[in-house]
Structure 1
Amino acid sequence: MNIVALCAHRARYMVSKALSGRSPRVSRPTAASSRIALRIAPRIGIVLAAVIGYFGVRGLTDSSQAKALRNAAHVEAAERVLHLDWEPQLQSLVVNDQAITRLLNWIYIYGHWPVIALILIWLLSRHPALFSRAAGAMLLSGSAGLIAFAAFPVAPPRLAALGMTDTVTEQSSAYRVLQPSAFTNQYAAMPSLHVGWNLLMTLAILAATRKIWLRVLAVALTMSMDATVVLTANHYVLDALAGVVLAELGWYAMGRLQNRARRQQRTTTRDTNHPAPSVFVLTGQRG
């Protein structure tokens, strides 16, 4: 049978199947896709549990105003000693420009959770190892942050007697849609996880790609949030620095854990592929 006849026979067969009214065969999921789903599902579950726990515990640790204001005064005193008490002066440069404050509000609101969610989805689909490292670093730094919020509540500059304007609350209501007041601790200023977690996304992107435009956007992501949390009177400079340190420690710790796991896996694979010689080989005897 030549190629023309073979094609004609195949075409007649397909037409007859279509006219017979039989439902097309639905392919079953392959073993590979099932393995991928089983590997991804726990990771997504861990991230969702961490986010729910973060909001829930953060809301439950809302401490008294008097204690938070006293701790804020301690932070302000430390900044004066370190010559970092820049918050009122910096905000005075932009607070009267409505276009700039609107941009800062958008960065604070939409440049955090929505951006983090998109980056985590991208990492999960393209770079699962980096997803695990970033998510694990978020979990570690978030746990440490919750302990700090409960043990050392700090009122943000917008609630302290610094004469600063709460631009996010006064000019926008979208923030309370993304973070309802029931799950928000207004005295959780130290450390700034807004800064820390954006930095983790930046580190993950820098490790994942060599594309210049993506790397520039990654750096802009963290630099813009660093400036925004201070200019909107939501965090002190020391809060931002503490968030950076906490995120870096979480990123480093997860990297060490992943490297150790890879070394153990290579050792196990090598031992499996090259088992130890039997006693007969060592003694030169036959079995």
Structure 2
Amino acid sequence: MGDSTVTEPEGREQVAVPRVVTGEAGRGPLGRLRRPRRPRLWFEILLVAVSYWTYSLIRNAVPEQRAEALRNARWIWRVEHDLGVAVEQSVNHAANSVTWLIVGMNYYYATLHFVITIGVLVWLYRWHPGRYAATRLALFATTGVALVGYYLFPLAPPRLMHGGHFVDTVLRHHTWGSMASGDLKHMSNQYAAMPSMHIGWSLWCGLTVFALASVPWARVLGLVYPAATLLVIVATANHFWLDAVGGVVCLCFGFAVARLWYGSLPHALPRRVTVQAAGEPVPAGRSA
């Protein structure tokens, strides 16, 4: 979708509203909903809080089908062996042999998917308000479709497999913060490992930063973050690497929803949007 720019005498660049949300396409209640707009802080804080609370409530309300989850885990482990890609146990044992490394990974697993995701949302809100709503929609759609996976395919993580010889690194090293082990395990569905939202969220963060950041080192970090997350979820025995594939599929769905709703992928939308009412003349110095 094309957007045009003009430069005012002061040198400031103004970005036009994309064609997909102007004219006939921008009329009516649906058109107004699809039109990129400047986000409102109070609404976004409330929306994110309520959405995560709803996600956690539904995820933990999915029945813990332990027997089926263990069968599915054995099936995935067998498939990976047949394909010659069953590397999780080796990675888990190697990382667990280095105490400082695995302790750091435990804290990484427990905290960074909250901290980094919220940080990227704040960065989008502040510096890319025109792209914020579409990118947030991709994140929400990714998270929503993951709930379907938890319901249809209950899966035990490797650390809970019988005879899998995986190390539950949180229990072994007595680290805090993870709701997957220890005293907090009763607050979270232990058999909702497929898909991995650690991967879905970290890849959302990484691709968003890579696509929109102007600083090269930030773009590199955007690619490193989901790769490091994949290593962590496998090393801590919280996921099979195939769970990560499920997270990628959910993210593709999320971006497809955003593309259908806004008529463009989030990064292609204008950074800042000046919305004109239907029939209102465009101010001098701005592109229609």
Sort the TM-score into its range (normalised by shorter chain): 0.7 to 0.9
Is residue 192–residue 235 contact of structure 1 (8 Å, CA) maintained in 2?
yes
- Pair 1:192-2:203 in alignment: no
Residue 180 to residue 128, structure 1, CA distance change in 2 (3 Å): farther
- Does the residue aligned with 1:186 lie in a helix, a strand or coil? coil
Is residue 39–residue 125 contact of structure 2 (8 Å, CA) maintained in 1?
no
Range with bigger deviation, 204-213 or 77-86: 77-86
Residue 250 to residue 82, structure 1, CA distance change in 2 (3 Å): farther
CA distance in 2, matches of 1:122, 1:269: 25
Q: Deviation of residue 150 (structure 1)?
A: 1.4
Q: Which residue of 1 aligns with 2:14?
A: none
Is residue 56–residue 183 contact of structure 1 (8 Å, CA) maintained in 2?
no
Residue 86 to residue 38, structure 1, CA distance change in 2 (3 Å): closer
Q: Deviation of residue 114 (structure 1)?
A: 1.6
Q: Which residue of 1 aligns with 2:28?
A: none
Is residue 84–residue 237 contact of structure 1 (8 Å, CA) maintained in 2?
no
Q: Which residue of 2 aligns with 1:175?
A: 178
Residue identity opposite 2:73 in structure 1: A
CA distance in 2, matches of 1:220, 1:103: 17
Which sections of structure 2, spanning at least 5 residues, go unmatched? 1-36, 282-288
Question: Identity across aligned pairs (percent)?
Answer: 27
CA distance in 1, matches of 2:206, 2:250: 14
- Does the residue aligned with 1:94 lie in a helix, a strand or coil? helix
- Pair 1:242-2:246 in alignment: yes
- Pair 1:143-2:144 in alignment: yes
The match for 1:212 among 212, 216, 229 is 216
CA distance in 1, matches of 2:79, 2:69: 15
Higher relative contact order (CA 8 A, sep 6+): 2
Residue 212 to residue 41, structure 1, CA distance change in 2 (3 Å): same
The match for 2:232 among 211, 217, 228 is 228
Which sections of structure 1, spanning at least 5 residues, go unmatched? 1-35, 275-287
- Figure out how many residues of one structure are paired with residues of the other and give that number: 235
**CA deviation vs aligned residue, 1:228-283 (integer Å, no higher than 9, x gap):** 00110000010011111211331233134222698xxx9x9697369xxxxxxxxx
Residue identity opposite 1:225 in structure 2: T
TM-score calculated relative to the size of structure 2: 0.73
CA distance in 1, matches of 2:261, 2:207: 17
**CA deviation vs aligned residue, 1:115-151 (integer Å, no higher than 9, x gap):** 2112211211111233323321221121111111112
CA distance in 2, matches of 1:128, 1:78: 44
Q: Deviation of residue 46 (structure 1)?
A: 2.6
Residue 183 to residue 258, structure 1, CA distance change in 2 (3 Å): farther
Range with bigger deviation, 167-176 or 49-58: 167-176
Q: Which residue of 2 aligns with 1:84?
A: 85
Q: Which residue of 2 aligns with 1:272?
A: 279
Is residue 106–residue 170 contact of structure 2 (8 Å, CA) maintained in 1?
yes
Residue 102 to residue 143, structure 1, CA distance change in 2 (3 Å): same
Q: Deviation of residue 50 (structure 1)?
A: 1.6
Is residue 196–residue 244 contact of structure 1 (8 Å, CA) maintained in 2?
yes
Q: Deviation of residue 194 (structure 1)?
A: 0.6
CA distance in 1, matches of 2:172, 2:56: 23
CA RMSD of aligned residues (A): 2.9
More helix by share: 1
CA distance in 2, matches of 1:123, 1:146: 25
**CA deviation vs aligned residue, 1:76-102 (integer Å, no higher than 9, x gap):** 233233332111122222211101112
Is residue 120–residue 131 contact of structure 1 (8 Å, CA) maintained in 2?
yes
